[in-house]
Amino acid sequence: MIFRLFYLMYLVFRYRIWFLLAVFPNKFYFFFKIFYHKSSMDKNMINLIEFLEKSGPVFIKLGQIFSTRYDIFDKNTINHFAKLTDFVKSQNFVDIKPLIEKELNRNIEDIFDEFLEIEIGSGSLAQVYKAKIKNQKNFVAVKILRKDIQTKVQQDIKLMKLFAKILEKIFLEAKRMKFLMVVNKLEKILKLEMDLRFESSFNMEIKRETTNISFYEVPNVYSKYTTKNLMITEFIDGVSLLNKNKLIQYNINKKIALENIIYVFFYQMFVVGVFHGDFHPGNILIKKNNTIATIDHAILEILNVKTRKAVLELFLAFLNKNYKRAAEIHFENGWIDDKYDVDEFAIACSAILEGVFEKDSLDISIGDLISQLFYITKMYNMKTQEDLILIQKNLLILEGIGRELYPEINMWVLGKNIIEKIDKDYNLSLKYTTEIFKNTIKNGYKKLLNFNANQNIVNIVNYKKEFSILIFYIKLIVLALFMLLCVLFLK
């Protein structure tokens, strides 16, 4: 670990990463400004991106998270972070083969009739190969974690936590933006990515919950071969969004394909409450009939019903320019402290965001909207919401896909139409209210069973808020029953 620390420090000096201390406000800002050799921000950012790529998978993924942080960085800086890629030089098959055989506990030749030694995918954590299991017609995809990756990632996470604690003491905004929380979130993501049993389970969960979408496929998993370090799935024969020539060759209807991609994402998020956490172009395949398929389900974000309801209402409020309702949602969910005035926040949203919406609809950018929204929430000391990080990331990715795949389409109108269609088709408002009511009754009943009359006054006060919600719903039921009796009596 000491050698790793020295190597990272070497990279810091090689790529002059100390420029951050002279650019972003911190306790030693003026001191570093004196010794700061000013060069263009683009040059500095190129150096930072190279530093992250040289530092390994943990730092690459941190940079990818930063590509959603409009609350910290300007748009130009965000664009640099967005260029970070997980694709790294592959390990030689001679080194990978023993790892596969160890996981399968057999020789490759005993299980596969065919095994292509050239990988079809190489990421920072794993490599993927194409093969054919004995006595089967179709190809499969074999995913294997890289050699010693677990140890390397654990070391880097420990170092990154140390850096995060230091940054929160140095940078004036770092504590508000919860840098340590971001690293903890990253650690949780990487732990899931480095245990392929989770990815296998996530894959099957997404497949099970989306069977009613005719234009969407998720590969089958060969569960009997799944281990912590290895997973085998059905091979999806589709075209990557990154391969523009093949999209033309396969005569893909880009407009329909894009609509299908956006629909799948919002369906997963709002209806299922579980969505693919890494919706980038490399993980999306398009088949000849415009059916889409997703692969690499290592990152899955689960949204509870309360968060889903809040996000849906927030989307619809902004899409319909209802700033008062958007402001109320921020306060209702505790994202902004009650000490601030909701009407004042609504006016701030209207004043700043209206400039974004006044643009031609084709020019409205989700990135600009998020950037301006962060500008407002920063004034009201809104802290980073962990549940929203992957949503923001995927929205920006989807906007990029839209502009690349079919630039003529109005992403703003498309998103609005799809969200409203899903809301109407699945009656989400009623669905969410019913689920929240059931959860409130269930949790309230549990609290009543566990309630101890001898508890001190502080604990009793803590229950008051939870029981007030339960009492509110009970009053609604009583009122509904009373009205029903009145109707029956009048008849």
Residue numbers annotated as active site: 278
Cβ pair 160, 150 in contact under 8 A: no
Dump the DSSP string for 60-125. Answer: HHHHHHHTT-TTTS-HHHHHHHHT-----PPPPHHHHHHHHHHHHTS-HHHHEEEE-SS-SEE-SS
Query: Which residue, chain included where needed, has tokens 């190489």?
Result: 122
CA distance 173 to 165: 13
In angstroms, how far is the first alpha carbon of the chain from the final one? 81
Nearest to 95 by CA among 145, 57, 147: 147
Q: Please name the amino acid found at residue 93.
A: F
CA angle 399, 247, 415 (to 5 degrees): 25
Alpha-carbon torsion angle 36, 41, 44, 48, nearest 10? 120
Residues 6 or more apart in contact with residue 406 via CB below 8 angstroms: 254, 255, 258
For residue 216, give both structure tokens. Answer: 């969407």
- The Cα–Cα gap between 154 and 159 comes to 9
| HSE (side-chain half, CA atoms, 13 Å) at 23 | 18
Secondary structure of residue 127 in the 3-state scheme: strand
Q: How many Cβ atoms are within 10 Å of 154's Cβ, its own excluded?
A: 16
